[in-house]
């Protein structure tokens, strides 16, 4: 998108108009079905999703990072936000009727650095929601914090154990860890998985979960992406809806959390750990390259209220983890 196109798109944010046909404008009160043209070929049941978003006073948009906002890459350290996503993400975050939540297994600081501080309307949920950040505030689940030293020790041990296995990497994310084997030879993968599971079995308070060619080591805490999305949906106004977009098995918790009142959108891709026919999400999007079109469409069909929600008063971090956080 050129600078001129971005300025032109941003200029429509305050207008009470929505396109009902390609190239046509109408008052939202007269528009029962928003335009489907931008996503008709890449999104299943687009009319249902458009009606849900357009018919609500506002929308919480939850977004996974890897495989959703960013293309999946072999080296996890090299992942970056898709260039076309950044301007529309910034525009959505500035909308009074939208709260953007970036929800990822990445550590919170890593996530913030890759997405950038776009606007006060962005909440970050790192380490599958165990870390939450909004504005200058950050809070970490206290039960997860207590396992930080255990995670560090396990990373050291696994780093030594897997040092001679090409294509593997042990990533210490503070309160969790990820063992990557995306580029390891297929014959080495069973041994890598066994090494992780054996190491964790010897440590209390930790557990192993599976992802897309990774194994994650997490505190044995009952909190995941779904809990993070329930929290954010709860702090938004009652007449808002929630849409969550993700591609991996860890996003299934979020899909289940936002539906049926909201909507889940599964981003299909080759090699995904989730079969498109098995996902809990009500909608399927045709690949990560279509995410930008989806977000632009949400920006177009989302309501444009005259009243701005003051996100400086958003307090999801006061006591987000219930009794565990006190």
Residues catalogued as catalytic: 64
87: CB partners within 8 A, 6+ apart: 1, 6, 9
- Are the C-beta atoms of residues 69 and 82 closer than 8 Å to each other? yes
- For residues 250 and 212, give the distance between their C-alpha atoms in angstroms, rounded to a whole number: 9
Q: Is the dihedral of CA 212, 217, 220, 226 positive or negative?
A: negative
Which residues in 52-80 are b (16+ Cβ under 10 Å) and which e?
A: bbbebbbbbbbbbbbbbbbbbeeebeebe
Which residues in 160-185 are b (16+ Cβ under 10 Å) and which e?
A: ebbeebebbbbbbbbbbbbbbbbebe
Q: Among 208, 173, 174, which residue's Cα sits nearest to residue 194?
A: 208
- Are the C-beta atoms of residues 69 and 28 closer than 8 Å to each other? no
- For residues 32 and 18, give the distance between their C-alpha atoms in angstroms, rounded to a whole number: 11
Report the SS3 class of residue 285.
strand
Tell me 66's DSSP state.
B
């Amino acid at each position: 998108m050129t600078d001129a196109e971005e300025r032109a798109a941003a200029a429509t944010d305050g207008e009470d108009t929505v396109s009902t046909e390609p190239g046509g404008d109408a008052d939202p009160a007269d528009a029962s079905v928003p335009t489907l043209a931008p996503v008709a070929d890449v999104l299943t049941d687009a009319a249902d999703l458009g009606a849900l978003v357009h018919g609500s006073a506002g929308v919480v948009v939850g977004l996974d990072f890897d495989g959703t906002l960013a293309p999946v890459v072999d080296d996890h350290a090299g992942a970056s936000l898709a260039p076309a996503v950044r301007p529309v993400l910034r525009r959505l975050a500035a909308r009074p009727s939208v709260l953007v939540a970036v929800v990822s297994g990445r550590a919170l600081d890593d996530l913030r650095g890759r997405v950038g501080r776009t606007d006060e309307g962005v909440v970050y949920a790192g380490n599958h929601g165990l870390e939450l950040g909004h504005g200058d505030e950050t809070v970490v689940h206290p039960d997860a914090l207590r396992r930080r030293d255990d995670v560090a020790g396990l990373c050291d041990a696994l780093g030594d154990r897997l040092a001679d296995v090409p294509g593997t990497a042990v990533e210490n994310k503070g309160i969790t860890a990820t063992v990557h084997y995306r580029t390891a030879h297929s014959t080495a993968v069973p041994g890598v998985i066994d090494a992780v599971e054996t190491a964790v079995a010897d440590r209390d308070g930790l557990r192993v979960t599976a992802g897309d060619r990774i194994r994650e080591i997490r505190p044995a805490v009952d909190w995941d992406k779904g809990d993070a999305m329930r929290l954010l949906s709860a702090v938004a106004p009652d007449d808002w809806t929630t849409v969550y977009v993700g591609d991996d098995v860890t996003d299934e918790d979020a899909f289940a959390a936002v539906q049926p009142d909201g909507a889940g959108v599964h981003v299909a891709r080759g090699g995904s750990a989730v079969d498109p026919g098995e996902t809990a999400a009500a909608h399927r999007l045709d690949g990560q390259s279509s995410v930008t079109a989806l977000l632009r469409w949400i920006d177009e069909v989302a309501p444009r209220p005259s009243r701005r929600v003051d996100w400086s008063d958003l307090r999801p971090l006061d006591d987000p983890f219930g009794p565990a956080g006190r």
